[in-house]
Copies of this chain bind each other. A is one copy, B any other.
């Protein structure tokens, strides 16, 4: 199910293939975030055509709107959205603890109030699997507890124990064949808890393992220390998914530690705010120097935006709040991320991934990409 094709000699980077019932995912992979069924401003066809064969959907959001009964009528989230690729759905854990109006945990599950209409709902690990099976996600995630950035070790350990307990229950709850289930390694920012979490969960025989609770405000140094502890205690022969990360540099560094899968709103959210990734570094489309720029945003880019439109036109559309500008910039930034992933894979294949890693640790990664 997870076939490692090549391991890098000097780092823990690897290229692999993950088989799902709807197709094979090459890793390392970046999954764009399609919260309610499509990446904001794009059509599901555009996402697929940019080379993204797997997209993220959000269980919390989809449960609230349109609701699982609607999705059931279509048989799957894929049928509902018409996205031709594969879909990974997160469990909603992160949203419940960061977005919902309140969240009360007990051993059984978590009670929360919808941020949309204030209605209360109760999620258990079993219910979350059931919802994701109704979405027919290619990859389902367990319900976990996200404790936040600054909590005591006592709370962190209690939350971790709940997450471990829920991991076990999720494994038992799974009923459908073919839909993969990933567990989420947590442990907050405590080294021994990170180790404990990864070690215990590795024994549960899941289809893959995520590393959660990172990139939530901590320094990069702490993030990578925690990540290293998680990754090094997870099974080598299973896919490892770093949730919600990150910058191009973060991705290259995490790949070197042995991470295979990523998702992040960065390319898409930044696009909607006018922040653009280019081969010459990041730029802000609002900068007046692009006002009369006849050339594209990035002369070395082959995306729909850069192949067709001048920076001046994109800036004009952005400054006049034309929706089309968000689509252009989203397509551009996603193309940049896809290109980054292709270069990472290529460099592992060619045995020169270390060069790529060295470059980002000396200079801006943009000069490389």
* Selected contact of A323 from candidates B41, B80, B313, CB within 8 Å: B41
Enumerate chain B residues within 8 angstroms of A308, measured Cβ to Cβ.
Answer: 45, 82
Q: Which residue of B lies closest to A80 (CB)?
A: B313
Number of copies of this chain that the complex holds:
2
Known contacts being A41-B324, A291-B66, A292-B73, is A316 close to B36, with CB within 8 Å?
A: yes
In angstroms, Cα B99 to Cα A214, docked, is 49
Q: What per-residue 1/0 map shows which CB atoms of A61-86 lie under 8 Å from chain B?
A: 10001100110011000001110000
Known contacts being A74-B310, A310-B80, A319-B65, is A324 close to B292, with CB within 8 Å?
A: no
- Residue A322 at the chain B interface, CB threshold 8 Å: yes
- Residue A309 at the chain B interface, CB threshold 8 Å: yes
- Residue A320 at the chain B interface, CB threshold 8 Å: yes
In angstroms, Cα B322 to Cα A81, docked, is 13
Q: Which 3 pairs from chain A and chain B are nearest by CB? A: A66-B316, A41-B323, A36-B320
- Residue A42 at the chain B interface, CB threshold 8 Å: yes
Residues of A within 8 A of B (CB): 36-38, 40-43, 45, 61, 65-66, 69-70, 73-74, 80-82, 291-292, 294, 308-310, 312-313, 315-317, 319-320, 322-324, 326-327
Enumerate chain B residues within 8 angstroms of A37, measured Cβ to Cβ.
Answer: 313, 316-317
Q: Which residue of B lies closest to A320 (CB)?
A: B36
* Selected contact of A80 from candidates B36, B41, B82, B312, CB within 8 Å: B312
In angstroms, Cα B312 to Cα A309, docked, is 34
Q: Which residue of B lies closest to A82 (CB)?
A: B308
Q: Are B40 and A309 in contact (CB under 8 A)?
A: no
- Please give the distance in Å from A28's CB to the nearest CB on chain B: 28
Provide 29 A-B residue pairs closer than 8 Å at the C-beta atoms, listed in order of the A residue.
Answer: A36-B316, A36-B317, A36-B320, A36-B322, A38-B322, A38-B324, A40-B323, A40-B324, A43-B324, A45-B308, A65-B319, A66-B291, A66-B312, A66-B315, A66-B316, A66-B319, A70-B291, A70-B292, A73-B292, A73-B312, A74-B294, A74-B310, A80-B310, A80-B313, A80-B316, A81-B313, A82-B313, A323-B327, A327-B327
